[in-house]
Structure 1
Amino acid sequence: MEKIINNINFNEKGLVPVVVQDVTTEKVLMLAYMNEEAIKKTLNERVAHYYSRSRQKLWKKGETSGNMQKVKGFAYDCDGDSILLTVDQIGVACHTGNYSCFFKKVLKENEKEKHILKKLYTLIQDRKDNPKEGSYTNYLFEKGLDKILKKVGEESSEVIIGAKNKNKDEMIYEISDLIYHLLVLMVNEKVSIEEIKKELLRREKVKSIRE
């Protein structure tokens, strides 16, 4: 612990800025400050503690709101004058009620491209909740699980054929079809994208332990 503290370059007020990032979404949640005591409590308890410059006191994130941050990673930069904290965010990070404090955007990333899978999942969920006449997605839901599974099997076979044909364009097309039908299956069986992400993260963690 003392070695870590000695490697941190605190400013003249004994503080160091902390960038907080969601371990699952990788979104930056907030910027806060820590003093030596906050660092020690954070590392010992694995729950984020910060130093409030306005109140001039130590505070535990979520102590009153319930929006606590379970610490998953702690790193400092090459100069030791800033910290990156990766957390499992419970609830929202911002006191305004927003998920992240950085919601006032000037230049926006292309959300349509970045979150295309989530957007497609949401659209499929909406088709299930609000059926639309003539919708192929609703046709699958109406036919039920067996039909959906049949389509997943068919599309899997098409991917295999595309791969055997060494046809990249065909593979891209068929993989896209397969992903769509898998999302339909997920919605039908109430499996969320977040649950898949968590399982993949769990496997990554197990792999790192084994290695």
Structure 2
Amino acid sequence: MSIARLATTIAARRGADPSSSWTAKLLAQGPEKAAEKFGEEAVEAIIEAVRGDRARLTAEAADVIYHLLVMCAARDVSLGDIEAELARREGRSGLDEKAARG
């Protein structure tokens, strides 16, 4: 599944019956719960990155991307919004970008 298709599926689950979909359940619980789940998945990905288990890291990275998109959707931030921000940064040094923010 592409990230764009995943984002579309997440958006379609908004307002769905929480008993019918994990995504709908997360969205119904609010942005704070979605953020909590994202944090949990990010920590799990970090652990697998440190352990060096490629297959587990791949699985956890997929969970991180899914939960990141759910968290963003819970605050009405779309994949298009994220892509626009990445496009804005394109061609600019990451060091320059970081210096401009901080």
Aligning the two structures, in what range does the TM-score lie when normalised by the shorter sequence?
A: 0.7 to 0.9
Alignment-derived partner of residue 173 in structure 1 = 59
Alignment-derived partner of residue 80 in structure 2 = 194
Alignment-derived partner of residue 16 in structure 2 = 130
Question: CA offsets per residue over residues 42-101 of structure 1, 9 Å max, x none?
Answer: xxxxxxxxxxxxxxxxxxxxxxxxxxxxxxxxxxxxxxxxxxxxxxxxxxxxxxxxxxxx
Q: How far apart, in 2, do the equivalents of 1:206 and 1:192 lie?
A: 23
SS at match of 1:162: helix
Alignment-mate amino acid for residue 25 of structure 2? Y
Identity %: 35
Deviation at 1:132, TM superposition (A): 5.5
Alignment-derived partner of residue 118 in structure 1 = 4
Q: Which residue, out of 125, 136, 154, partners 2:40?
A: 154
| 5+ long unaligned stretches in structure 2 | 97-102
Q: Which protein is richer in strand relative to its size?
A: 1
Pick the structure with greater CA Rg. 1
Whose RCO is larger (CA < 8 A, sep 6+)? 2
2:15–2:24 Cα contact (<8 Å) kept: no
Q: Which residue, out of 31, 37, 44, partners 1:145?
A: 31
Give the aligned length.
95
Give the superposed CA RMSD.
1.9
Structure-2-length-normalised TM-score = 0.82
Question: CA offsets per residue over residues 129-165 of structure 1, 9 Å max, x none?
Answer: 3335331111111211121111111001001100111
Q: How far apart, in 2, do the equivalents of 1:204 and 1:176 lie?
A: 24
